[in-house]
Amino acid sequence: MVVKELVSDLVEFLNVGKIMNKEQISQTSSYILKYFPHFNLGDLKLFFDKMKLGHYGKFYDSVDGQLILSKMEEYSQDRMNEFEQLRLAKHREEIKENPIGEGYHPDVIAAIKKAIGEKKVPKIEKVERVITPSEIFTQKCIRQFDNLFSRYGITNISGRFIKIGNTVFDLNKFLERKFANTSR
């Protein structure tokens, strides 16, 4: 009943031209329970909320059971990928905390640590990079080229070109001209 209510609520929310009838809602709900038994009510609520928010695409003229089930399969894949990422992150943290592993007697761990010694990680100081005046100038020139290209760019040629007077410039030629002008 809850699944039917969630599907009905989604169909009413979408306000599309071709909607599902009660039999289609019932069949879709049965397939959801049959093919996604591992979803709890929280999963189902989250999925239908994401559908309403357009997370799995827009609905233009119709919604049907096949569309809902295919989007639910996408949600299932997203859910499994997220779980795997969390599991791997937890595993990496466990390895950092205990590189020898679990299941060993404390005396064995102490003997291994004594044999290999404690791992000392040298602390690396973070060095801030100083941007040179020439890098700042280059960045300004690139921004200027981008602005000129957005207004006066030549679109019928492959690549990014601008025309100044009778001369066509690409980014490299433009930078060369700017550098030559500053060195005079």
Euclidean distance between CA atoms 162 and 29, whole angstroms:
58
Q: Specify the amino acid at residue 57.
A: G
Contact 16, 60 (CB under 8 A): yes
The pTM score is 0.49
pLDDT (tens, 9 = 90+) of the chain, 184 residues, equals 899 999 888 888 887 778 888 999 999 999 999 999 999 999 999 998 998 888 888 877 778 888 889 999 999 999 999 999 999 998 888 777 766 666 677 787 778 778 877 666 677 788 888 888 888 888 999 999 888 888 878 876 677 888 888 888 888 888 888 888 877 6
Of residues 100, 131, 105, the one with CA closest to residue 118 = 100
